[in-house]
Amino acid sequence: MDRIAICHLSGCWIWTGKVDSRGYARVKRNGRRFQVHRFAYEIIIGEIDENLQCDHACRIRHCVNPFHLEPVTARTNVQRGFAAKINFEIAEKIREEYASDKNMTQQKLADKYGLFRTSISFIIRGVNWARSEEEIASNVTNNRRKLFSTAQVKEIINLLDKGRTQSSIASEFGCTQYTIWKIKAGKY
Ligand SMILES: [Zn+2]
């Protein structure tokens, strides 16, 4: 805790120790590197699915307050990173301009919109901003790790014993199939 300064305005737990090249708080233990915010989240709130990244709601990368973090997919994280410059409407416009003008290049669009050419490529291919913000928001809700009570976990195990499929239980409980799998495997 001696390497954390609390900001009383934002509630951020600002890491005053070392940060990595991307600005995230990190520590080295037994030769291994750990991201401090991820560690804090796992200790205080719960395990994060390996395939999810931690998005900082406060946009302060070296904040380690777990309540400012949200585990999201890498794709959502990238989409949010672009959010400062772009939105679904602009992305649609870019796709339209590219499709309707044979002489239009990705580089021209990048220059026009002040984005990287790779970002334009992602937009055109529908990797990013393929969907409206409402759709993305509901996607985030679905990806958010649900914390189940002991009673709920028992209920899920019960349903599994009765032969219910993991996918049907996941949709009933509004979580990912991976979570159900973890419960089944006794790793929850
Ligand atoms: Zn914060």
Q: What is the DSSP string of 28-71?
A: EETTEEEEHHHHHHHHHT----TTEEEEETT--TTB--GGGEEE
Domains of the chain: 4-74 (no CATH), 78-140 (no CATH), 146-184 (1.10.10)
- Cα of 119 from ligand 1 centre, angstroms: 27
- Cα of 66 from ligand 1 centre, angstroms: 8
- Cα of 84 from ligand 1 centre, angstroms: 18
Give the least confident one: 45-49, 63-67, 74-78. Answer: 74-78
- Cα of 12 from ligand 1 centre, angstroms: 4
The span from the CA of 83 to the CA of 129, in Å, is 9
| Lookup: tokens for 103 | 């002489």
The span from the CA of 130 to the CA of 116, in Å, is 17
114-163 residue pLDDT tens: 676 777 887 888 766 777 756 655 655 555 455 777 888 899 999 999 99
- Cα of 69 from ligand 1 centre, angstroms: 8
Give the pTM.
Answer: 0.44
Helix (H, G, I), strand (E, B) or coil at 14: strand
- Phi/psi for 34 (5° steps) reads -125, 140
- Cα of 21 from ligand 1 centre, angstroms: 19
Mean pLDDT for all residues in the chain: 82
Average pLDDT over residues 99-108: 93
- Cα of 54 from ligand 1 centre, angstroms: 12
Tell me the sheet residues that pair with 122: none
